[in-house]
Structure 1
Amino acid sequence: MLFEFIATIAAGFGLAGVALIITHLSKLAGKRAPKWLIPLFGAIGIFAFQINQEYNWFSQQVAELPKGVTVVKKVEESTWFRPWSYVKPQTFRFIAADADNARANADNKNMYLVNLYLFERRRSVQQMPQVIDCATPARADYVLQEKDSTLSIDDHVKQTTAWRPLTKDDPIFISVCSKRT
Protein backbone atom coordinates (compact mmCIF):
# COMPACT_ATOMS: atom_id res chain seq x y z
CA MET A 1 0.00 0.00 0.00
CA LEU A 2 2.93 2.31 0.65
CA PHE A 3 4.27 1.67 -2.86
CA GLU A 4 0.85 2.40 -4.34
CA PHE A 5 0.75 5.70 -2.44
CA ILE A 6 4.23 6.65 -3.69
CA ALA A 7 3.26 5.68 -7.26
CA THR A 8 0.08 7.76 -7.01
CA ILE A 9 2.03 10.85 -5.94
CA ALA A 10 4.57 10.21 -8.70
CA ALA A 11 1.78 10.00 -11.30
CA GLY A 12 0.40 13.33 -10.07
CA PHE A 13 3.81 15.02 -10.22
CA GLY A 14 4.50 13.45 -13.62
CA LEU A 15 1.37 14.84 -15.24
CA ALA A 16 1.84 18.18 -13.47
CA GLY A 17 5.32 18.24 -15.05
CA VAL A 18 3.74 17.77 -18.47
CA ALA A 19 1.47 20.77 -17.74
CA LEU A 20 4.52 22.77 -16.63
CA ILE A 21 6.17 22.07 -19.97
CA ILE A 22 2.95 23.13 -21.75
CA THR A 23 2.88 26.44 -19.82
CA HIS A 24 6.51 27.17 -20.68
CA LEU A 25 5.91 26.35 -24.36
CA SER A 26 2.82 28.55 -24.36
CA LYS A 27 4.92 31.50 -23.11
CA LEU A 28 7.29 30.99 -26.06
CA ALA A 29 4.34 30.97 -28.45
CA GLY A 30 3.14 34.29 -27.11
CA LYS A 31 -0.02 32.99 -25.41
CA ARG A 32 -0.06 32.25 -21.74
CA ALA A 33 -1.65 29.01 -20.47
CA PRO A 34 -3.96 29.36 -17.46
CA LYS A 35 -2.39 28.96 -14.01
CA TRP A 36 -4.85 26.27 -12.99
CA LEU A 37 -3.52 23.91 -15.69
CA ILE A 38 -0.71 22.48 -13.52
CA PRO A 39 -2.90 21.44 -10.53
CA LEU A 40 -5.57 20.14 -12.95
CA PHE A 41 -3.06 17.89 -14.70
CA GLY A 42 -1.72 16.73 -11.30
CA ALA A 43 -5.24 15.78 -10.19
CA ILE A 44 -5.92 14.00 -13.47
CA GLY A 45 -2.69 12.00 -13.03
CA ILE A 46 -3.67 10.94 -9.51
CA PHE A 47 -7.22 9.96 -10.47
CA ALA A 48 -6.13 8.14 -13.63
CA PHE A 49 -3.55 6.10 -11.73
CA GLN A 50 -5.99 5.16 -8.96
CA ILE A 51 -8.73 4.18 -11.39
CA ASN A 52 -6.24 2.09 -13.36
CA GLN A 53 -5.09 0.36 -10.16
CA GLU A 54 -8.64 -0.41 -9.06
CA TYR A 55 -9.50 -2.02 -12.38
CA ASN A 56 -6.23 -3.98 -12.56
CA TRP A 57 -6.26 -5.17 -8.93
CA PHE A 58 -8.23 -8.34 -9.68
CA SER A 59 -6.04 -9.46 -12.58
CA GLN A 60 -2.87 -8.71 -10.56
CA GLN A 61 -4.11 -10.82 -7.64
CA VAL A 62 -5.16 -13.72 -9.90
CA ALA A 63 -1.75 -13.68 -11.58
CA GLU A 64 -0.08 -14.07 -8.17
CA LEU A 65 -2.19 -17.06 -7.08
CA PRO A 66 -0.18 -20.27 -6.65
CA LYS A 67 -0.71 -23.20 -9.00
CA GLY A 68 -3.89 -25.09 -8.18
CA VAL A 69 -5.72 -22.16 -6.63
CA THR A 70 -8.63 -21.09 -8.83
CA VAL A 71 -11.12 -18.25 -8.60
CA VAL A 72 -14.60 -19.60 -7.79
CA LYS A 73 -16.49 -16.35 -7.33
CA LYS A 74 -15.92 -12.67 -7.96
CA VAL A 75 -18.02 -9.72 -6.85
CA GLU A 76 -18.32 -6.72 -9.14
CA GLU A 77 -19.74 -3.50 -7.74
CA SER A 78 -20.79 -0.04 -8.88
CA THR A 79 -20.80 2.79 -6.36
CA TRP A 80 -22.10 6.33 -6.51
CA PHE A 81 -18.77 7.93 -5.56
CA ARG A 82 -17.08 6.10 -8.44
CA PRO A 83 -19.33 7.11 -11.34
CA TRP A 84 -17.08 5.37 -13.90
CA SER A 85 -17.95 2.06 -12.22
CA TYR A 86 -21.45 2.30 -13.70
CA VAL A 87 -19.91 2.02 -17.16
CA LYS A 88 -17.72 -0.94 -16.16
CA PRO A 89 -18.25 -2.40 -12.66
CA GLN A 90 -15.12 -3.00 -10.58
CA THR A 91 -14.12 -6.25 -8.88
CA PHE A 92 -13.48 -5.52 -5.21
CA ARG A 93 -13.81 -9.04 -3.77
CA PHE A 94 -13.33 -12.61 -4.89
CA ILE A 95 -13.06 -16.13 -3.50
CA ALA A 96 -10.39 -18.62 -4.57
CA ALA A 97 -10.29 -22.34 -3.77
CA ASP A 98 -7.18 -24.45 -3.35
CA ALA A 99 -8.77 -27.42 -5.13
CA ASP A 100 -5.52 -29.15 -6.15
CA ASN A 101 -4.49 -29.52 -2.51
CA ALA A 102 -7.88 -30.69 -1.21
CA ARG A 103 -7.50 -33.57 1.22
CA ALA A 104 -9.88 -36.52 1.15
CA ASN A 105 -11.32 -37.90 4.37
CA ALA A 106 -9.92 -41.33 5.26
CA ASP A 107 -13.37 -42.68 6.23
CA ASN A 108 -15.45 -41.07 3.49
CA LYS A 109 -13.75 -40.55 0.12
CA ASN A 110 -16.56 -38.20 -1.00
CA MET A 111 -15.61 -35.56 1.58
CA TYR A 112 -12.76 -33.16 0.98
CA LEU A 113 -11.12 -30.51 3.14
CA VAL A 114 -10.35 -27.47 1.01
CA ASN A 115 -9.07 -23.99 1.83
CA LEU A 116 -11.04 -21.06 0.51
CA TYR A 117 -9.29 -17.70 0.35
CA LEU A 118 -11.29 -14.49 0.63
CA PHE A 119 -9.67 -11.55 -1.13
CA GLU A 120 -10.86 -7.97 -0.76
CA ARG A 121 -9.32 -4.77 -2.08
CA ARG A 122 -7.07 -3.11 0.53
CA ARG A 123 -7.60 -5.87 3.11
CA SER A 124 -5.63 -8.91 4.20
CA VAL A 125 -6.42 -12.29 2.68
CA GLN A 126 -8.56 -14.51 4.90
CA GLN A 127 -8.34 -18.29 4.87
CA MET A 128 -11.52 -20.26 5.45
CA PRO A 129 -11.22 -24.08 5.64
CA GLN A 130 -14.31 -25.84 4.28
CA VAL A 131 -15.44 -29.44 4.08
CA ILE A 132 -17.07 -30.28 0.74
CA ASP A 133 -19.30 -33.35 0.49
CA CYS A 134 -19.27 -34.38 -3.17
CA ALA A 135 -21.97 -37.04 -2.74
CA THR A 136 -24.58 -34.77 -1.16
CA PRO A 137 -23.43 -31.46 -2.69
CA ALA A 138 -22.98 -29.59 0.58
CA ARG A 139 -20.33 -27.68 2.45
CA ALA A 140 -19.55 -26.93 6.08
CA ASP A 141 -17.05 -24.82 7.99
CA TYR A 142 -14.05 -26.69 9.33
CA VAL A 143 -12.68 -25.63 12.69
CA LEU A 144 -9.66 -27.51 13.95
CA GLN A 145 -9.69 -28.17 17.66
CA GLU A 146 -6.10 -27.89 18.87
CA LYS A 147 -6.64 -30.31 21.74
CA ASP A 148 -7.38 -33.31 19.57
CA SER A 149 -5.94 -33.32 16.08
CA THR A 150 -6.71 -37.05 15.67
CA LEU A 151 -10.39 -36.42 14.96
CA SER A 152 -11.55 -37.05 11.40
CA ILE A 153 -13.07 -34.41 9.17
CA ASP A 154 -16.53 -35.86 9.96
CA ASP A 155 -16.00 -35.44 13.72
CA HIS A 156 -14.93 -31.80 13.36
CA VAL A 157 -17.89 -30.94 11.15
CA LYS A 158 -20.35 -32.62 13.53
CA GLN A 159 -18.90 -30.61 16.41
CA THR A 160 -18.71 -27.22 14.76
CA THR A 161 -21.35 -26.37 12.19
CA ALA A 162 -24.31 -27.27 10.04
CA TRP A 163 -24.15 -28.31 6.41
CA ARG A 164 -25.09 -25.76 3.75
CA PRO A 165 -26.36 -27.17 0.47
CA LEU A 166 -24.49 -26.65 -2.80
CA THR A 167 -25.78 -27.04 -6.31
CA LYS A 168 -23.99 -29.20 -8.85
CA ASP A 169 -23.22 -26.09 -10.92
CA ASP A 170 -21.68 -24.19 -7.98
CA PRO A 171 -18.08 -23.20 -8.84
CA ILE A 172 -16.78 -24.48 -5.47
CA PHE A 173 -18.39 -27.87 -6.04
CA ILE A 174 -17.12 -28.04 -9.62
CA SER A 175 -13.53 -27.06 -8.75
CA VAL A 176 -13.21 -29.56 -5.90
CA CYS A 177 -15.39 -32.51 -6.96
CA SER A 178 -15.06 -32.59 -10.76
CA LYS A 179 -11.42 -33.68 -10.58
CA ARG A 180 -12.17 -36.48 -8.17
CA THR A 181 -15.21 -38.24 -9.60
Structure 2
Amino acid sequence: MEFTGPIGVRLWVSSSTANMDIFAAVRPIDPQGRDVTFMGNSDPNVPLGLGYLRVSHRAVDAAKSTEYSAFHPHLTSEPTTPGQLYPVDVEFSEPTSIVIPKGYRLALTIQGKDFGYGPGAHIVRAKDYDLPNSNNSGLFFAAHQNRAPTLYGGTDKVATGGEHASYLLLPRITAR
Protein backbone atom coordinates (compact mmCIF):
# COMPACT_ATOMS: atom_id res chain seq x y z
CA MET A 1 0.00 0.00 0.00
CA GLU A 2 1.41 3.41 -0.96
CA PHE A 3 1.07 6.63 1.06
CA THR A 4 2.41 9.85 -0.49
CA GLY A 5 1.69 13.32 0.88
CA PRO A 6 0.93 15.00 4.20
CA ILE A 7 -0.24 13.14 7.32
CA GLY A 8 -3.22 14.44 9.28
CA VAL A 9 -4.35 13.65 12.82
CA ARG A 10 -7.63 14.95 14.30
CA LEU A 11 -8.03 14.41 18.03
CA TRP A 12 -10.68 15.31 20.57
CA VAL A 13 -8.75 16.09 23.76
CA SER A 14 -9.28 17.34 27.28
CA SER A 15 -6.98 18.05 30.20
CA SER A 16 -7.32 18.60 33.91
CA THR A 17 -5.20 21.75 33.39
CA ALA A 18 -5.42 24.81 31.12
CA ASN A 19 -2.96 23.49 28.52
CA MET A 20 -1.39 20.32 27.17
CA ASP A 21 1.20 19.24 24.63
CA ILE A 22 0.55 16.51 22.07
CA PHE A 23 3.37 14.55 20.44
CA ALA A 24 2.30 12.13 17.71
CA ALA A 25 4.32 9.48 15.89
CA VAL A 26 3.26 7.28 12.96
CA ARG A 27 5.28 4.07 12.99
CA PRO A 28 5.46 1.12 10.58
CA ILE A 29 5.61 -2.25 12.34
CA ASP A 30 7.08 -5.27 10.54
CA PRO A 31 5.47 -8.76 10.62
CA GLN A 32 7.73 -9.70 13.59
CA GLY A 33 6.35 -6.79 15.62
CA ARG A 34 9.43 -4.56 15.31
CA ASP A 35 9.31 -0.81 14.69
CA VAL A 36 10.87 0.05 11.32
CA THR A 37 12.98 3.23 11.44
CA PHE A 38 14.28 5.51 8.71
CA MET A 39 17.29 7.73 8.10
CA GLY A 40 16.05 11.23 8.98
CA ASN A 41 17.64 14.63 8.57
CA SER A 42 18.44 14.84 12.30
CA ASP A 43 18.57 11.21 13.39
CA PRO A 44 19.36 7.87 11.77
CA ASN A 45 16.37 6.17 13.47
CA VAL A 46 13.15 8.12 13.00
CA PRO A 47 9.57 6.90 12.66
CA LEU A 48 7.57 7.50 9.48
CA GLY A 49 6.17 10.81 10.75
CA LEU A 50 6.26 13.09 13.80
CA GLY A 51 3.72 15.72 14.76
CA TYR A 52 3.43 18.22 17.59
CA LEU A 53 0.83 20.63 18.93
CA ARG A 54 0.59 22.81 22.03
CA VAL A 55 -3.18 22.79 22.53
CA SER A 56 -3.34 26.47 23.50
CA HIS A 57 -2.14 27.12 19.90
CA ARG A 58 -4.88 24.99 18.31
CA ALA A 59 -6.35 27.82 16.21
CA VAL A 60 -6.26 26.98 12.50
CA ASP A 61 -6.16 29.31 9.49
CA ALA A 62 -8.79 27.65 7.27
CA ALA A 63 -7.62 29.52 4.15
CA LYS A 64 -4.10 28.07 4.48
CA SER A 65 -5.09 24.60 5.66
CA THR A 66 -6.04 21.46 3.75
CA GLU A 67 -7.92 18.35 4.81
CA TYR A 68 -4.58 16.67 5.57
CA SER A 69 -2.47 19.59 6.72
CA ALA A 70 -3.61 22.15 9.29
CA PHE A 71 -1.92 25.54 9.30
CA HIS A 72 -1.56 26.92 12.83
CA PRO A 73 -0.70 30.67 12.73
CA HIS A 74 0.40 30.73 16.41
CA LEU A 75 -0.87 34.32 16.78
CA THR A 76 -2.67 33.84 20.10
CA SER A 77 -2.64 31.52 23.06
CA GLU A 78 -6.06 30.13 24.00
CA PRO A 79 -6.07 28.25 27.31
CA THR A 80 -8.45 25.31 27.64
CA THR A 81 -11.13 24.85 30.27
CA PRO A 82 -10.19 21.84 32.41
CA GLY A 83 -12.33 18.81 31.55
CA GLN A 84 -13.81 20.29 28.35
CA LEU A 85 -13.25 18.47 25.03
CA TYR A 86 -11.61 20.35 22.15
CA PRO A 87 -11.06 19.24 18.54
CA VAL A 88 -7.41 19.70 17.54
CA ASP A 89 -5.47 19.06 14.35
CA VAL A 90 -1.92 17.89 14.94
CA GLU A 91 0.55 19.26 12.41
CA PHE A 92 3.21 16.94 11.01
CA SER A 93 6.44 18.60 9.97
CA GLU A 94 7.07 16.60 6.80
CA PRO A 95 4.94 14.83 4.19
CA THR A 96 5.63 11.15 3.64
CA SER A 97 6.15 8.82 0.71
CA ILE A 98 6.30 5.12 1.40
CA VAL A 99 5.13 1.76 0.12
CA ILE A 100 4.19 -0.47 3.05
CA PRO A 101 4.67 -4.17 2.22
CA LYS A 102 1.93 -6.72 2.80
CA GLY A 103 1.96 -8.00 6.38
CA TYR A 104 3.19 -4.72 7.88
CA ARG A 105 0.95 -2.48 10.00
CA LEU A 106 0.95 1.16 11.04
CA ALA A 107 0.78 2.40 14.64
CA LEU A 108 -0.10 5.88 15.88
CA THR A 109 1.44 6.88 19.22
CA ILE A 110 0.01 9.89 21.07
CA GLN A 111 1.74 11.15 24.20
CA GLY A 112 2.49 14.31 26.18
CA LYS A 113 6.25 14.26 25.71
CA ASP A 114 8.80 13.77 22.94
CA PHE A 115 8.45 10.47 21.13
CA GLY A 116 11.30 8.07 21.78
CA TYR A 117 11.84 4.36 21.35
CA GLY A 118 13.44 4.02 24.78
CA PRO A 119 15.92 1.48 26.08
CA GLY A 120 15.39 -2.09 24.91
CA ALA A 121 12.96 -1.12 22.13
CA HIS A 122 12.29 -3.83 19.56
CA ILE A 123 13.24 -1.96 16.37
CA VAL A 124 14.88 -2.45 13.00
CA ARG A 125 17.33 0.45 12.78
CA ALA A 126 18.21 2.40 9.67
CA LYS A 127 21.72 2.94 11.07
CA ASP A 128 23.14 2.46 14.53
CA TYR A 129 25.36 5.03 16.22
CA ASP A 130 25.34 6.92 19.51
CA LEU A 131 23.44 10.20 19.76
CA PRO A 132 23.10 12.57 22.67
CA ASN A 133 19.68 12.16 24.29
CA SER A 134 19.21 8.88 22.45
CA ASN A 135 15.80 8.29 24.08
CA ASN A 136 14.34 11.10 21.95
CA SER A 137 13.60 10.83 18.26
CA GLY A 138 16.32 13.05 16.89
CA LEU A 139 18.70 15.78 17.91
CA PHE A 140 15.92 18.38 18.08
CA PHE A 141 13.35 17.91 20.81
CA ALA A 142 11.19 19.88 23.25
CA ALA A 143 12.82 21.07 26.48
CA HIS A 144 10.53 19.58 29.12
CA GLN A 145 12.43 20.92 32.13
CA ASN A 146 10.81 24.38 31.80
CA ARG A 147 7.18 23.22 31.64
CA ALA A 148 5.16 24.34 34.68
CA PRO A 149 3.46 21.30 36.29
CA THR A 150 0.36 23.44 36.95
CA LEU A 151 -0.10 23.73 33.16
CA TYR A 152 1.45 20.53 31.82
CA GLY A 153 1.34 18.07 34.73
CA GLY A 154 -2.34 17.24 34.53
CA THR A 155 -4.29 14.22 33.32
CA ASP A 156 -4.87 14.38 29.58
CA LYS A 157 -7.47 12.39 27.65
CA VAL A 158 -8.20 11.56 24.01
CA ALA A 159 -11.84 10.84 23.17
CA THR A 160 -12.84 8.52 20.33
CA GLY A 161 -16.04 7.47 18.63
CA GLY A 162 -19.43 8.98 17.90
CA GLU A 163 -19.44 12.75 17.63
CA HIS A 164 -15.88 12.83 19.01
CA ALA A 165 -14.15 10.74 16.36
CA SER A 166 -10.36 10.98 16.60
CA TYR A 167 -8.52 9.68 13.56
CA LEU A 168 -5.34 9.37 11.50
CA LEU A 169 -5.66 10.60 7.92
CA LEU A 170 -3.17 9.13 5.42
CA PRO A 171 -2.73 10.03 1.74
CA ARG A 172 -3.29 6.58 0.18
CA ILE A 173 -2.39 6.26 -3.48
CA THR A 174 -4.53 3.78 -5.39
CA ALA A 175 -3.76 2.14 -8.74
CA ARG A 176 -4.96 4.15 -11.72
What band does the TM-score fall into relative to the shorter chain?
Answer: under 0.3
The structure where helix makes up a greater share of residues is: 1
TM-score normalised to the size of structure 1?
0.20
Q: Which structure shows the higher strand fraction?
A: 2
TM-score by length of 2: 0.20
